[in-house]
Structure 1
Amino acid sequence: MRKTWTLSLALTLPLALAACGGSGPAGTSNGGGAQSGDTIKIGSLHPLSGASAADGQQMDNGAKLAVEAINNAGGIKAQGGKKLELVSADTQGKPEVGQSEAQRLVSDGAVGLVGTYQSAVTANVSTVAERNKVPLVIDVSSADSILAQGYKYTFRVQPSSTVLGTAGAQFLDQVAKAAGKPVRTVAVLHEQGPFGSAVRDAFKAEAEKAGIKVGPAIAYDAANVSDLTTQVTQVKASGADVLMVAGYYRDGVLAAKAVATVKPPALNAVYGVANGAFDLPQFPKEAGAAAEGFFDANYHADMTNADMQALAKLYQERYNDAIRTGAVLAYDSVKVIADALERSGGTEPAKVRDAIAEGSVPTLIAGNGPITFGPTGENENATPILMQVQGGAVKQVFPADKAETKPVYPAFTSR
């Protein structure tokens, strides 16, 4: 039987950062799960430097705020009020660095890990988690291949690539047909790693079921690309009426600027699927008029939730920045581990793992219910919604029960 555990955010209480560690070694190695003193260590693995540093720092900040909230609410009460200690590590967005840092955190006594943003990095970190039998809660990394290994210690809070790509294609088909402008052809622009490739494949399979032609599919290196004009020129030559983009924040902004420069005349919409830019409040501010009308089918913070509103306010005050959904997923992932610590009766990673598998944890992400994990480690209630930049702000537009306003399609009526 699943048990539901509700954690007060305690966002209005004084917040102490003393419990949040840095990226260096946190002390003498004492073996996975062994704890000393009054703290319980959780490892946070994200790209704190490199091309995705802005996202990684947001996610690490989200994990820190979750630890603060839990500690301010009394810590892990079932274990005598022990406090959580977050130990942060910089993956640099590199699989081999993520793997070595994960091993360091486990050796230093972390009872659980959260991370890591890039699917290629998470794939390596998950092998460390499985080998050491220490639970990993994936906040952001959607590639299906990660959980296709039959792992027992790896769980994912966000939707998988299959869920994101499939729903993304369905949403596009439904919105376009409702507008009387069915989609004929979709060009795909995607980062070349396991995340972008998996989203491409799932989107293509579902779109073709609806009679939509998909192609060309153009891949790029998200870590090193500095301009996407050449790729968008290929899209223009294809005559596609929709451009689907699956990538991260920095390259999402580059894609928007390239579309504004090239101006493919046949495009009715630029349509993100799990795009790391198009549904974030920073995107229309940075891309300006080039962002207007862009769609994104993605997981998203539930801004109708009062606790989510409070967290967003706190994040803005603390970091002078608008919170991104990745930070919320990192926040939720720490909550998952804290919930398991409350119910496991100790800090032994195997017991924590079993408690995670049986848990039911309220989420700040818009979805179909609390975080609950199925037999493969997927969050059974994770689902995307469709958003669009309208009037310089990101709005929820589909499905109707999640919509703040109606979608505008075609999005580029002047082209």
Structure 2
Amino acid sequence: MSAKKLGAAPRQGALRGPLAWLGACALALGLAGCGGSAPSGAAGAAAGRDEGPVKIGALHPVSGANAVDGQQMRRGAEMAVEAINAAGGIKSLGGREVELLKGDTQGKAEVGQSEAQRLISEGVVGFTGTYQSAVSTNVAVVAERNRVPFVMDVTASDAIFANGYRYSFRVQPGSRAISTAAARYLKEVADKAGKPVRKVAILHEQTDFGTGAAEAFVEAAKGLGLPIGPNISYDALTTSDLTAQVTQVKASGANVLVAIGYYRDSLLAAKAINAVKPPLDAVWGVSNGAFDQPKFVTDAGALGERIFSTNYHFDAKNPRTTRLREEYQRRYGAPMRTGAVLAYDAVQVIAQAVERSGSTDPVRIREAVRASQVAPLTVGNGPITFAPNGDNTNAAPVLMQVQGGQVKQVHPPEKAESQPDYSVTWRP
């Protein structure tokens, strides 16, 4: 998957209109008392925080296999910074502007770790990232060791949040939350359509992300009485064809296929399903990196019609989100993906924590992040608020489906733009 060259960002503080409005709304929160001391052994970085722009870091894979998503997320973070500066910067620090320091993880855990250390040494007060759970796992260790808040925009794996870290937070719903909702939504939609689930086959990429999501789905599905068929894994980085795996699904007699993967491999799965034609009632994405993306609708064409996906998603019913995405489309000539909206939300979390703490001390900012009440532009059940383990307690998965060449929110009813189409056997 090739990446388009990232365009130059507009001058900070120059943006007006939709983003200025978004920034003003986002920073209109009350102050929260915070305390703490500066991290030890960080004198150089601390000195760099005392004057000039307030530095926030962004770590994403802007080269490598996931560069398109990484570039989208970097742009989302840049747009958040522009909105903050257009609205007057950090007012509790005398209107100091925010500067985004950027790192390229290349999709590699060890590179992400070194890039995180570099950003910290350059004086970031907090940073966001990273799109891939394996990379975020390493970055979280760096954040904890240096006592600098790490607000993850896209990171599905729950394992990070079982370590007792104090400086790791996550905006999106985690893998278990998404997988549990996916199983429940499957039963609800299938039963309502009068086409009960006979057997579920699972096709997933084999890293912590895919394996964890698959395990959580199986646990939730069994609790709902949904029979599980073959559980098939593959290497997302090296696979070039999933025909053999989908042939195994066809032979199993499963009438639902759960697909868990990144963009490139999930597109391969859609193509393999079209070639093999297993008689499925539904293709059911879980934390899937492709099925709810506008680019997938374009790349897959008719192959993508009626594929479902349970995932985090930009809030299609939020007027502020609509305006942000319109501005992104105008500027970059491409639809703004959910990952970019999550990156926007994550930068706002850090910036608002700086605003409330009135400090550039990462320890004090961490306390303010912990007390966040930030209005999200992604689907949720309320403001971004963090549990003791760092999870966003109001993050909410939503079921989507490709309908008529568009990704629509279809379930639960209070989040739906249209009704789920589960009416006929799914045959490409």
Aligned to 2:159: 145
- 2:390 is aligned with what amino acid? G
Give the C-alpha shift of residue 33 in structure 1.
7.3
- Name structure 2 gaps, 5 residues minimum: 1-14, 22-42
Specify the alignment match of 1:119 in structure 2. Answer: 133
Equivalent of 1:345 in 342, 355, 358: 358
What amino acid maps onto 2:299 in structure 1? Answer: E
Which one of 120, 129, 134 corresponds to residue 143 of structure 2? 129
Aligned-partner SS, 1:360: coil
- Per the alignment, residue 404 of structure 1 pairs with 417
Aligned residue number for residue 239 of structure 1:
253
Query: 1:206 aligns to what?
Result: 220
| 1:248-305 deviation line (CA, Å, top 9, x unaligned) | 111121111111111112x111100111111111211110010011000111111221
- 2:274/2:427 contact within 8 Å kept: no
The number of equivalent residue pairs is 393
Equivalent residue for 1:293?
306
Q: Indicate the residue corresponding to 2:329 in structure 1.
A: 316
Please give the secondary structure, in 2, of the residue aligned with 1:323. Answer: coil
Match of 1:172 in 2: 186
Q: Which of 167, 172, 176 is 1:162 aligned to?
A: 176
Cα distance, 1:43 vs structure 2: 0.9
Deviation at 1:125, TM superposition (A): 0.3
Between 37-46 and 319-328, report the one with greater CA deviation.
Answer: 37-46
Segment drifting more, 35-44 vs 86-95 = 35-44
Cα offset, 1:203, TM superposition: 0.6
Relative to 1, partners in 2 of residues 1:114 and 1:173: Cα closer, same or farther, differing over 3 Å? same
SS at match of 1:89: strand
1: distance between equivalents of 2:205 and 2:65?
A: 13
Given that 1:33 and 1:348 are in contact with CA atoms closer than 8 Å, whether structure 2 keeps it comes out as: no
Contact 2:294 2:407 in 1 (8 A): yes
Deviation at 1:350, TM superposition (A): 0.2
**Alignment-derived partner of residue 22 in structure 1:** none
Kept in 1, the 8 Å contact 2:278–2:427? The answer is no
Which residue identity lines up with residue 364 of structure 2 in the other structure?
K
Q: Deviations over 1:173-208 (max 9, x none)?
A: 110011111101111111111111111111100101
Query: How far apart, in 1, do the equivalents of 2:152 and 2:250 lie?
Result: 37
Distance 1:414 1:280, change over 3 A: closer
Paired position in structure 2 for 1:197? 211
Name the stretch that deviates more: 114-123 or 237-246. 237-246
3-state SS of paired residue (2:44): coil
Residue in 2 aligned with 1:305? Answer: 318
Question: Is this contact kept in 1: 2:60–2:74, CA < 8 A?
Answer: yes
The TM-score, its normalising length taken from structure 1, stands at 0.92
Return the alpha-carbon distance in structure 2 between the equivalents of residues 103 and 81 of structure 1. 27
* Distance 1:58-1:50 versus aligned 2 partners, 3 A rule: same
Deviation string 1:326-367 (CA, Å, 9 cap, x unpaired) is 000000000000110001121000000000001100000111
1:276 equivalent in structure 2: 289
CA contact (8 A) 2:282 2:426 kept: no
Quote the offset at 1:110 in angstroms: 0.8
Given the superposition, is the C-alpha separation of residues 115 and 169 from structure 1 closer, same or farther in structure 2, using an over 3 Å criterion?
Answer: same
| CA offsets 1:124-154 (integer angstroms, 9 cap, x no match) | 0000000000000000011110111000000
Q: CA deviation at 1:36?
A: 5.1
Q: CA deviation at 1:13?
A: 6.7
3-state SS of 2:383 partner: coil
Distance in 2, Cα, partners of 1:132 & 1:203: 35
Which SS does the other structure have where 1:30 is aligned? helix
Deviations along 1:191-239, whole A, 9 cap, x unmatched? 1111111111111001011211223111122222222112111111111
Is the Cα contact below 8 Å between 1:139 and 1:333 reproduced in 2? yes
User: Deviation string for 1:352-400 (max 9, x for gaps)?
Assistant: 0000001100000111011000111000000101010111111111111
Matched, 1:331 2:344: yes
Letter in 2 for 1:396: Q
Aligned amino acid, residue 414 of structure 2: D
2-structure distance, mates of 1:114, 1:224: 28
Residue type at the aligned position of 1:180:
G
Relative to the length of structure 2, the TM-score reads 0.89
Shift >4 Å, 4+ stretches = none
How many angstroms does 1:88 deviate by?
1.0
Measure, in 2, the Cα distance between the counterparts of 1:184 and 1:327: 37
Specify the code of the residue in structure 2 equivalent to 1:176.
Answer: A
Confirm or deny: 8 A CA contact 1:32 1:132 kept in the other structure. no
Residues 411 and 352 of structure 1, relative CA distance in 2, 3 Å threshold:
farther
1:63 aligned residue (69, 74, 77):
77
Equivalent residue number for residue 271 of structure 2 = 257
Measured on the aligned residues, the alpha-carbon RMSD in Å equals 1.7
